[in-house]
Amino acid sequence: MNIAMIGGGSIGLLFGYYLSEVHNVNFYVRTHEQAEKIMNSGLFLQKGKKMEHIQAKANALPEWSGDEDLTIVAVKQYHLPEVVNLLKSNAPEYSGSFLFLQNGMGHLKWINQLKADNVYVGSVEHGAYRTDANIVRQTGLGRTKLALFKGSSLSAAMEMAKPLTQFPFSFEDDYYEMLLNKLVVNSVVNPLTAILRIPNGELLANPFYHSFMKDYFSEISACLDLKNKEKSFANVEEVCKKTAENRSSMLKDIEENRQTEIDAILGFVLEKAKENKKDAPLTAGFYQLIKGKEYKGGEE
């Protein structure tokens, strides 16, 4: 299968590496430097102390023209508007399928504009960290949930996923619920751990943080009008437990002076709060505090 991978960040490199083992993958990345590095030196995947290597093909982003059967978009949500414009302009009617791997749900309104055979969305539960332009470290093996967002068939997604026995995928019926579950986890865990500068497990281990997390979850679940609040909170706790030692992606972004995904995450919750006419003082507060940390560039 011919696959285009748009995005050379940690998730793009991780997926691209595994897919390259069984498919024909073309990377499309932001800078010429990164494309050249991938072309000349290939890709490296680090798992614990082991380093694996594979050859790969890479182009600059504007060269994408919809020639592949499947196009995976693995850029951050805040780069998506620009990428979607490029996709629309380079292939107004794409006779292939798209898969979008962004966090949050704010991106749905943009990808809804695309014309393609099928549009899939995914929820990624892997841990990965890019250590160089062509090196990705896998920090946790999870799985990727996929669902149909627009179109009629899961076949392209299945064709991509099936041969990848070491890199698990699962298929979900309801894309909205799938993304919502991830959004709730990200909304609670990411801002809290980033402001408090704690690994995820502290939210359970520290009784005061746990008590605050309950109040904060309760506000978020009201904003999003969650149907099964108990189950959803249990899921947040389960993720904290499974990833107890991890520092969340937002905490890492803050520590390393990068832009966070706060707009994709709490920005979406605040939009829903407005729609549903709910008060959201804690959510609005954490949104401001993370924006403040971004403004500061993480300095102390």
> Where does this chain bind a second copy (CB under 8 A)?
195-198, 202, 206-209, 211-212, 215-216, 219, 281-282, 284-285, 288-289, 291-296, 300
Q: Minimum CB separation from a second copy for residue 54, in Å? A: 37
Q: Minimum CB separation from a second copy for residue 111, in Å? A: 29
Can you say whether the dihedral through the CA atoms of 44, 45, 50, 52 is positive or negative?
Answer: negative
Residue 182 appears among annotated catalytic residues: yes
Choosing from 150, 182, 272, 293, which is the catalytic residue?
Answer: 182
Q: Minimum CB separation from a second copy for residue 292, in Å? A: 4
Q: What are phi and psi of 52, to 5 degrees?
A: -110, 160
- For residues 120 and 178, the answer to whether their CB atoms sit within 8 Å is no
Q: Minimum CB separation from a second copy for residue 109, in Å? A: 25
Q: Minimum CB separation from a second copy for residue 23, in Å? A: 42
Q: What residues are annotated to the active site?
A: 182
